[in-house]
Amino acid sequence: MSSIVTPEFAIKMARYNRWQNQSLYRAADGLSDADRMADRGAFFRSIQETLSHILWADIAWMNRFAPEIAPSDVPIAKSGAMFADWSVLKSMRGEFDEIILDWAEAMTPEWLVGELSFYSSAYDKEIRLPRDTSVVHLFNHQTHHRGQVHAMLTAAGVDPGPTDLPVMP
């Protein structure tokens, strides 16, 4: 059985990731630091802490895919506070979106075949997953938490813009 996950899929999703992050960060830029850090009842509490967690998770997954990318030593429980400075978070997000896109553009169909094995500190166990499933998870995790940020921004009176893949520039 062949996978629907291809290098082209990864490139499209990496472009989508970058576009959506640019939209959310632009919208969040219009808020004060206090508004970005306000507890809005989300799993990672605030807009900024949720965005920090997304970047933390992207770093963790990309280290699993490309070990030359340095892992974070911050545990998942502290991932929301990893980037407490808004300007640092924005800068790192932009840089890391390009790392993800470069990785996707260098991907080969052969790389997608096989398993990924890693220790998960979140689940405190060794995990083995097909590589294609792991790639889908990277992008699905981003989308899941960006949806939370989108809802928090909307509730704060900010329009983060469209999220539908068919209207991606």
Domain count, the chain: 1
Residue 114 lies in a domain: yes
Residue 97 lies in a domain: yes
47-98 pLDDT, tens digit each = 999 999 999 999 999 999 999 999 999 999 999 999 999 999 999 999 999 9
Domain with residue 37: its CATH number is: 1.20.120.450
DSSP annotation of 42: B
pLDDT at residue 1 is higher than 60: no
User: What distance, in Å, lies between the first and last C-alpha atoms of the chain?
Assistant: 32
User: What pLDDT is stored for residue 94 in this prediction?
Assistant: 98
pTM of the model: 0.95
Q: How confident is the model at residue 3 (pLDDT cuts 50, 70, 90)?
A: confident
- The CA distance from 51 to 157, in Å, is 18
Residues 146-163 have a mean pLDDT of 97
Q: How confident is the model at residue 2 (pLDDT cuts 50, 70, 90)?
A: low
Residues 89-114 have a mean pLDDT of 97
Q: How many residues does the chain have?
A: 169
Residue 164 is inside which H or E element, if any? none
Residue 1 lies in a domain: no
- The CA distance from 126 to 119, in Å, is 4
Residue 169 lies in a domain: no
Which pair of tokens denotes residue 17? Answer: 């990731």
DSSP annotation of 117: E
Which range marks the domain in which residue 141 is found?
A: 7-164
Residue 134 lies in a domain: yes
